Amino acid sequence: MSQTDSAAGDTAHKTVDVLVLGGGTGNKVASAAAAAGLETVLVEKGPLGGTCLNRGCNPSKMLIAHANRVNAVADADRFHVDVTLDGVDVPAIVEEVHGTLGDIADGMAESKRNEENLTLVNAEGQFIDDRTLRADGTEYTAEKVLVAAGTRPLVIDAIDGLTDVDYLTSSEALRLSEPPERLVVMGGGYIAAELGYYFDALGTEVALIEMEDSLLPREDDEVAERFTDIARRRHDVFTGYRVTSVSEADGTITATAESADGDTIEVSGDELLVALGRRPNTDRIGIENTDIALDDRGFVETDDRLETNVDGVYAIGDIIGDHPFKHAADYEVEVVTENLVDGADRTVDYSGMSHAVFTEPQVAGVGRTEGQLQENGVEYVVGRAEYADAAMSRALKIDDGLVKVLASPDGELLGCHLVGHEASMLVHEATLAVRHGLSVEDVADTIHVHPSMNKVLESAFRDAASKLA
């Protein structure tokens, strides 16, 4: 492991081969560079593993797994099973989840400290020029740089009174050991949906306020509307309302929201969760001291090799804003490692980039939505299948769910969107088809195990195939 030079009273300076800012998926590139014999510095102020491991998909899905167990008990009477739920030890759940993940992050850091050619700097890093970072009293310069500094929850200061109340973001909500009696959620995207589902299972009354006409507004409209209808069964859902102000009195937080036609509502609770999306951390890393180009939202711009406009400076992960998913970042690690470390000329191919929302039912999708096809004047046919018609749904007593297949008139799969049980697993059949150019007939003609849940996907593809030119 390389050592950092120091000089008492002066800023030390060290020139290395590779600089990586951000210890999420960026840590994998740092290790690959070090393993290739390149002297590498990894700068990360927080625990390794980034948002996914510490404040995002890992803790949220672990907590949601507990919510699913609670709901399975509550639903047992439909299967003529007489059980009672005596209680949920939320503090124990939260401690176990974050203890497990904390140990993993600590183990990653220890491993990095023992890797040859790699120096881990646990400090905030600030660019002072295109290829130089200042961190922990030392300036590090390299010809090859990777920016992987991620994002953080978006808080809109323009909402009157918001910064004057004690609100939660997803980071704090994931660590709450005492569920609120009533939770008001600003936003209706995947973070709001998942955390709303989790807290509802723990007995919290949840109210969601979303300015668009449905929850999960980035999903296919039909899927989003179906999910919104399902969410209304367990939450208070206010769609088409934009929060204009927030106030707090006597331990109660009230959000005032207004619709496009001027209707005003007030929604109150003992906790407020701000889930309005995420913003890039480019404003915290001194990027203004570089020539690295940003888009109008503040995300780092890259070409199809994941290189910025500055030669030798690359970027991956949420900070580039294209596909804010951990699986996208893992794929980008492969591409950027070949280019930055091995000197290759590999380009990214995001076709077949699927995603999922881990509520119950789940939501998943791959490819283009019907709205996107209409907006771009693309001809298409639609295949549909209802979960309720599948034999496995009868076994599981599932009465709602939809698979929607979008195809060109000649059979090219353009998109597939699902809302229903295990949608995150079912979508991969369509993901494979989009990624490798399989037609809807190819999928429809594949023999599916009966009575697996995948039969509902087969039905949707058969429906689409029957409508081809």
- pLDDT tens, 296-339? 999 999 999 999 999 999 999 999 998 999 999 999 999 999 99
Whether 7 maps to a domain, the answer reads no
Tell me: do 73 and 33 sit in the same domain: yes
pLDDT at 348 over 80: yes
Q: How confident is the model at residue 29 (pLDDT cuts 50, 70, 90)?
A: very high
**pLDDT for position 2:** 40
Choose the final residue of a domain: 242, 276, 310: 276
Give me the percent of the chain exceeding a pLDDT of 90.
Answer: 94
Are residues 271 and 284 located together in one domain of the fold? no
**Does 238 share its domain with 177?**
yes
Q: What is the per-residue pLDDT for 85?
A: 93
- What pLDDT does residue 469 have? 78
Q: Which of 235, 355, 421, 450 is catalytic?
A: 450
pLDDT of residue 53: 86
Per-residue pLDDT tens digits for 197-216: 999 999 999 999 999 999 99
On whether residue 72 sits in a domain, the answer given is yes
**pLDDT tens digit string along 89-113?**
999 999 999 999 999 999 999 999 9
pTM of the model: 0.94
pLDDT for residue 68 is more than 80? yes
In total, how many domains does the chain have? 3
Say if residue 124 is in the same domain as residue 203.
no
Kindly state whether residue 33 falls inside one of the protein's structural domains.
yes
Q: Is residue 3 part of a domain?
A: no
Average per-residue pLDDT for the chain: 95
CB atoms under 10 Å from CB of 419, counted, come to: 30
In a domain, 4, yes or no: no
Tens digit of pLDDT for each residue in 373-409? Answer: 999 999 999 999 999 999 999 999 999 999 999 999 9
Considering the domain architecture, whether residues 82 and 187 belong to the same structural domain is answered as no
CA distance 66 to 182: 19
| Antiparallel, parallel or unpaired: β 182-186 and 362-367 | unpaired
Judge whether 347 lies within some domain: no
Q: Regarding beta strands 138-147 and 12-21, do their DSSP bridges make them parallel or antiparallel, or are they unpaired? A: parallel
Tokens of 80: 């003529």
pLDDT recorded at residue 157? 84
Same domain, 253 and 292: no
Q: Is 436 a catalytic residue?
A: no
Question: What pLDDT score was predicted for residue 8?
Answer: 43
pLDDT of residue 322: 84
Q: Are residues 269 and 313 in the same domain?
A: no
Domain boundary among 276, 308, 331: 276
Mean per-residue pLDDT, 51-60: 90
Question: Are residues 283 and 143 part of one domain?
Answer: yes
SS (H, E, C) the chain: CCCCCCECCECEEEEEEEEEECCCCHHHHHHHHHHCCCCEEEECCCCCCHHHHHHCHHHHHHHHHHHHHHHHHHCHHHHCCCCCCCCCCHHHHHHHHHHHHHHHHHHHHHHHHCCCCEEEECCCEEEEECCEEEECCEEEEEEEEEECCCEEECCCCCCECHHHCCCECHHHHCCCCCCCCEEEEECCCHHHHHHHHHHHHCCCEEEEEECCCCCCCCCCHHHHHHHHHHHHCCCEEEECEEEEEEEEECCEEEEEEEECCCCEEEEEECEEEECCCEEEHHHHCCHHHCCCCECCCCCECCCCCCECCCCCEEECHHHHCCCCCHHHHHHHHHHHHHHHHCCCCCCCCCCCCCEEECCCCEEEEEECCHHHHHHCCCCCEEEEEEHHHCHHHHHHCCCCCEEEEEECCCCEEEEEEEEECCHHHHHHHHHHHHHHCCEHHHHHCCCCCCCCCCHHHHHHHHHHHCCCC
The answer to the question of residue 132 being in a domain is yes
Let me know whether 185 and 272 are in one domain: yes
> 194 with 219, same domain?
yes
**pLDDT at 432 (0 to 100):** 97
Domain carrying residue 321: 12-153+279-341
State mean pLDDT over 329-354: 97
Whether residue 292 sits in one domain with residue 144: yes
Report pLDDT digits (tens) over 2-12: 444 444 447 89
Indicate the range of 18-27, 44-53, 246-255 predicted with least confidence.
44-53
> Does the residue 139 lie in any domain?
yes
Pick the last residue of a domain from 254, 276, 298.
276
CATH code of the domain in which 93 resides? 3.50.50.60
**pLDDT range class, residue 50, cuts 50, 70, 90:** confident
CATH number for position 450? 3.30.390.30
Looking at residue 242, what is its pLDDT?
97
- Clarify whether residues 168 and 271 are in a common domain: yes
When pLDDT is averaged across residues 410-432 and rounded to a whole number, the result is: 98
